[in-house]
Amino acid sequence: MAEGDYSPLSKLFQKENFEDWSKPHIVGATTEYSSLLKLQAMKEGGLRKYGSGIIVSVVTCTEIKQGVAIETGKTSSKYFDACSIIELHEDDFKALGINHNTNVRVTSAAGSIILKAVTTTQSLYPGLAHIPMGPWANIVVPAYTYSTGEPCFCGFDCLIEPAPEEKIEKAVKLMHEKCGLKYVGDPHYD
Amino acid sequence: MTKTIKNVICTFCGTLCDDLEVDVSDDGKRIEQVRNACAIGAEKYLHVGNPGRVVLPRMRQADGTYKDISYEEAIDFTAKTLLKAKKPLFYGWSSTNCEAIAAGNTLAEKTGGVIDNCATVCHGSSLLAIQDTGVPSCTLGEVKNRADRVIFWGCNPAHAHPRHMSRYSIFPRGFFSAKGQKGRKIICVDCRETDTAKVADVFVRIKQSYDYEVFDALRTVLRGEEIPDEVGGVPAEKIKEVIELLKSGRFVTLFFGMGLTHTLGRNHNIDNGINFIRDLNDYTKAVLIAMRGHYNVTGAGQVLGWQYGFPFACDLSRLTMARHNPGETTSVDLLVRHEVDACVVIASDLAAHFPFEATRVMSTIPTITIDPHISMSTELSDLHIPVAIVGVEVGGCCYRMDNVPIETRKCVDAPEGVLEDEELFKRISARVDEILAENGVSTAAEYLAKIEQET
């Protein structure tokens, strides 16, 4: 990821050795104060707001729209619409000062991604956000598994910042660019 | 004139609904209509005939484009890649049949690979807890016929297993549950008020990642001890209400999902959940069932279990013994630590469902994806081998989420020339044997030693 892709807060996340960031609690134990713990402290101290953004706990779960779209095809626009979103509580929309369906930048210890902030019928509480499982969500999912094999798909902290001018990348292009592979267009379907 | 095939098994989720009706065209090549399926199941069957189906293996070129190659070339490339690798990873298996899994495991054993299935990022923690604690469980038929108290904890069947509630857990009338939904009390525990929570009698909203504490509080109240006024965002009165409701039931079933296994605590959450159910058995009959996602992720664990003794993350790289050490032999850890040097993704989509750091490593090593459709993994792989779709174009044994084996059915013919998973693995195995014989060696380790000596 290019350096300019990072938000101001994500400078806190920048670390020479990425692997440290996939092991947040080890970093916390061995360094003075990891950015992840700083986020946690700010959250617990009631300081959820940071600059133009807010800090939320994110869960990634299966959705029926996502399930249908998987069967339609992962390069389909249905899959893009179902998975490149983040569901927020109404209070969090107010805290961010944005309307529904505005693009936001979501930054975690693992990475940063542009998603569309939407409202949901499956209610959340303020400070809890949901991203449907998929390649977009996995950009920000920390890979540390606590020796069980299961990464932190649920309950990791993210900074959400308004990014109305930014564009959401399509899945294949996103993956190719982030993996450093040459993108030559989407195959089939779309 | 269409032909109707009845009692088709839906191969989407772990519920494995067995009452689908599929209308196929006269020539047996096209699916015209699907009845009784959920939105996802219907899409699965109906999109089979969509344009753009890949019917030949595709090899990635230096310029990023893909070139069609023959199955023989693809099999040869796969066999050579696996033999050249010191520790190849075989990940996936959840969306294919048990016959293919057994054939694939044989190939992994020959080439000294690590076999892992989707449980590693799904219910692997549950399997760890079950190994530690045991599991009081039952079949979904028993739930339908007996359950009068049903708990959904950290799962959302309304979205992930759409017909689970109507076939087994909430609405159906059974032998001892003749009143159906009216005779059942449904409790939903989640941090989100999901669509499942909306049909529950009692919704317990807990703070994200406080599942262990809430299980503890429930067990404490069940044993007649006092708890704080609030635990994990749940008032003490609510916890006591839930306990009274459960104690008054004749048959309690706890369905749990990835809300428990993906969150802080992981296997310890399940451990506590199992102990809670064990404690409840002092008062009434109580069981629990994991809400397995892919239709044959349970089968992948079963086959690995009876072949090597471990349900997932099985390391065969020592060639003489199987090892299972979660955190070391699990796919995400292996990839993030760069410990595998080739990857075969079968009937699953690693790139769409692993944290990106693991996916990025996958894209840097030789990767072969075996999948009927285009997916994120196929687009990051060196080789994509298309296969027939299990449950639609080929039958085979699959295990439902309650560990009941069900024989799936073929509805239509696969496109001409497209191989089945099982046949493909057998042919790759045969090619591996040929290469070993050509080099005058009998094992993958000897082959590697010979190659290293020559270079």
Q: pLDDT digit string (tens) for B303-355?
A: 999 999 999 999 999 888 999 999 999 999 999 999 999 999 999 999 999 99
Judged by a CB distance cut-off of 8 A, whether residue B352 touches chain A is yes
Q: What is the mean pLDDT of residues B378-385?
A: 96
Q: Which two tokens stand for residue A35?
A: 């950015």
**How close B376 gets to chain A, by Cα (Å)?**
7
Name the helix (H) or strand (E) containing A68. helix A64-72
CATH architecture of B58-122+295-387+420-454: 3-Layer(aba) Sandwich (3.40)
Contacts for B230 with CB less than 8 Å, ≥ 6 apart: B236
Exposed/middle/buried for residue A29 (C-beta within 10 Å: 0-12, 13-18, 19+): exposed
Average pLDDT, chain B: 95
Q: What is the pLDDT of residue A59?
A: 94
Spatial contact of B390 and B11, defined as CB atoms under 8 Å apart: yes
Q: What is the pLDDT of residues B140-174, one digit of tens each?
A: 999 999 999 999 999 999 999 999 999 999 999 99
pLDDT value at position A22? 40
Rounded CA separation B15/B161 (Å): 7
The closest alpha carbon to B66, from A61, A86, A185, belongs to A185
- Answer whether B40 sits within 8 Å of A111, measured CB to CB: no
Provide the token pair at B349: 């989509």
Looking at residue A36, what is its pLDDT?
57
Chain B residues 190-229 with a CB less than 8 Å from chain A? 191-195, 197, 205, 208-209
> Checking DSSP bridges between strand B20-24 and strand B31-35, what pairing results, if any?
antiparallel
Is the pTM higher than 0.90? The answer reads yes
Amino acid at A95: A
Residues B377, B369 contacting (CB under 8 angstroms): yes
DSSP B62-103: TTS-EEE--HHHHHHHHHHHHHH-SSEEEEE-TTS-HHHHHH
Across B424-447, average pLDDT = 96
Nearest C-alpha neighbor of B28 from the set B55, B49, B7, B50: B49
Contact B77, B323 (CB under 8 A): no
Closest Cβ–Cβ partner in A74, A141, A155 for B263? A155
β-bridge mates for residue B20, sequence order: B8
Contacts for B265 with CB less than 8 Å, ≥ 6 apart: B209, B211, B212, B272
pLDDT tens digits, A26-78: 332 323 334 555 566 566 666 677 778 888 889 999 999 999 999 999 989 99
Chain-chain contact of A155 with B331 (C-beta, under 8 angstroms):
no
User: Does the beta carbon of A148 lie under 8 angstroms from any beta carbon of chain B?
Assistant: yes
Residues 393-452 on B with a CB inside 8 Å of A are none
Cα–Cα distance between B235 and B245 in angstroms, integer? 16
* SS3 at position B268: helix
Lowest mean pLDDT among A31-35, A99-103, B211-215, B249-253: A31-35
**pLDDT tens digits for B33-80?**
999 999 999 999 998 888 888 999 999 998 889 999 999 999 999 999
pLDDT at A55: 86
pLDDT of B291: 97
pLDDT at position B418 over 60: yes
In chain A, which among 66-125 make CB contacts under 8 A with chain B? 67-68, 70-75, 110-111, 121-125
Split chain A (190 residues) into runs of 10 and give each run's mean pLDDT: 40 40 35 48 67 88 93 91 96 94 91 94 92 95 89 89 94 93 73
More confident residue, A157 or B223: B223
Q: Give contacts of B165 with chain A, Cβ < 8 Å.
A: none
Residue A4: the pLDDT is 40
Q: Are B394 and B414 in contact (CB under 8 A)?
A: yes
Q: Could you tell me which of B325, B17, B333 has the C-alpha nearest to residue B144?
A: B17
Q: Which residue of A has its CA nearest to B353?
A: A134
Q: Do B128 and A178 touch (CB under 8 A)?
A: no
The nearest CA of chain B is from the CA of A88 a distance in Å of 11
What's the topology of domain B124-290? Dimethylsulfoxide Reductase; domain 2 (3.40.228)
How much is the pLDDT for A6? 39
**B162–A130 CB contact, under 8 Å:** no
Chain B residue with CA closest to A170: the answer is B376
Strand, coil or helix: B254: strand
Give yes or no for B304 touching A (CB within 8 A): no
**B371 has pLDDT over 90:** yes
Interface contacts A/B by beta carbons within 8 Å: 207
